[in-house]
Chains A and B, each alone.
Chain A
């Protein structure tokens, strides 16, 4: 069934969009990532103009994360206090990110920089997570004790300490604020929710328990992507609500299924799967940058990318 999208101004198959939404929704629920880093390139691939894909994707992430966060709230696996601290950093970061984005746009190289950001961040995070989860799995297989709690290093000497009961942490608010801030900047530049960066940052930098990480990152993502959606809608007019609704109908159902799969799986397995997926997307993007494209020319609107 073909459907004409009013803002994107293209006609696409409605079932294809529902399927894409569902698939990415499952991943979103399982890993607590918004799925934007997968969905945005997929939308380019089916012929949605990049500007519309990025903006609409932000809108869709709000919905899929919302249904995911409700599921997590019921199971009390959201650290609202930590989420709020991360969110404050995230909103400041998103605003900064938009400024940086517009500056790069005026230089005319925003497309390349977005891709390089993807390759670098996905590559580093994917590799780190992969190695770490492999080690964890090997340790449990040997029957040795669980990895020891985080060492008390620099992070515990910072001022403005706060108790995060749900996460079982008593740390300074500065690290989570900085994590939120940097994720916000990257999210705005790369046009994604930023969960794939935030989830490992929460686990490895802040030392939060994996079960809480997913719900808390979804909570933060909702607000940051809602903010991004409004920015795109009011400045670039590129949010396509029909496209968003189709993606999210598949997405919300997928997220519910994904959340249930995620609960049944072991944290290490979950992490190694996410790491593999991140590495695959990174590899594909790097491949596209390195191999000579079949069409050397591209057509775009004046001033856009």
Chain B
């Protein structure tokens, strides 16, 4: 079916040199009470008028969650106990970042291109608040990536984009359960011999719905009433359970 869809797009639309046509299995992720992560299927086609050009084709797909400032702290042994000593602040570390590519990243994307388009996760991270006492800011970057990778919030999916006949591509990217709300910037890069020849951008909207949304909004906009409500619910539940228990006993 994908193939037919792509073919239809190829015939129907006018083209320049090479272009990306994209489809998403969903462009909205609704966080409900039972939300346990989500998997997004990203598929598309390379649209072209001329015959297939020279050079190795590469496809890179990135999804980035809303950026947020974070602090990375390092522990050191002081007086026999492990204490946070130095800290480095990152201005806008993406709360989620996945890179999927059709081959190892260095093969499909040149170093300069990587910096220009900020594709690899390292190029997305800006250390801003490194004090003079920190000489090795790069180890903090590595730590941030290591911790987030372990939590599945940073993913490097090399070779996970499947390319068929230099035209069709598809990949699956998993969004973990611990997601921040916001617009998830989704980018597709088409490369020939490690140089970007075309790109495409869209967003996936991640948002809480229903009860989740209502509670979240209430806690931010009416924190006093939210607090009182939380206490009331807690006390009511405590009283009900207590009453029910003594009824059971009699």
Contact = CB atoms under 8 A, between A and B. Distances in A.
A63 interface: yes
B84 interface: yes
Contacts of B227: 229-230, 232-234, 239
A9 B208 CA distance: 10
Interface string A1-28: 1111011011100000000000000000
Contacts of B77: 292
Contacts of B74: 296-297
A11 B208 CA distance: 13
Contact of B75 (A3, A230, A298): A298
Interface string B57-86: 000000000001111111111001111100
Nearest to A254: B241
B34 A233 contact: no
B233 A241 contact: yes
Interface stretch (A106-114, A129-137, A267-275): A106-114
A303 B180 CA distance: 19
A1 B34 CA distance: 8
Interface string A223-234: 000100110111
B73 A252 contact: no
B91 to A, nearest CB: 9
A6 B212 contact: yes
Contact of B84 (A11, A112, A292, A304): A112
Nearest to A232: B227
B24 interface: no
A248 B238 contact: yes
Nearest to B240: A252
Contacts of B148: 299
Contacts of A10: 177-178
Q: Which of A9, A232, A248 has the most CB of B within 10 A?
A: A9
Contacts of B87: 108
B224 A233 contact: yes
Interface string B219-250: 11001101111110111011101100110000
Contacts of B7: none
Nearest to A237: B219
A302 B71 contact: yes
A301 B68 contact: yes
Q: Which of A67, A232, A237, A299 has the most CB of B within 10 A?
A: A299
Nearest to A290: B81
Given A297-B72, A298-B84, A249 B241 contact: yes
B177 A4 contact: yes
Contacts of A63: 234-235, 237-238
Interface in B11-44: 31-37
B216 interface: yes
A229 B231 contact: yes
A245 interface: yes
B147 interface: yes
Contact of A239 (B31, B35, B219, B239): B219
B140 interface: yes
Interface in A202-247: 226, 229-230, 232-234, 237, 239, 241-242, 244-245
A60 B178 CA distance: 23
B20 to A, nearest CB: 32
Contacts of B72: 297-299
Given A4-B33, A299-B147, A245 B233 contact: yes
Contacts of B185: none
Interface of B: 31-37, 68-77, 80-84, 87, 89, 140, 143-144, 146-148, 177-180, 208, 211-213, 215-216, 219-220, 223-224, 226-231, 233-235, 237-239, 241-242, 245-246
Given A11-B36, A232-B227, A298-B73, 12 more contacts: A4-B177, A6-B211, A6-B216, A7-B215, A62-B231, A62-B238, A66-B234, A112-B84, A234-B227, A239-B227, A301-B69, A301-B70
11 contacts: A4-B31, A4-B34, A6-B211, A11-B178, A47-B178, A234-B224, A242-B215, A244-B233, A249-B241, A256-B242, A289-B81
Interface of A: 1-4, 6-7, 9-11, 47, 59-60, 62-67, 70-71, 74, 108-109, 111-112, 226, 229-230, 232-234, 237, 239, 241-242, 244-245, 248-249, 252-253, 256, 289-293, 295-304
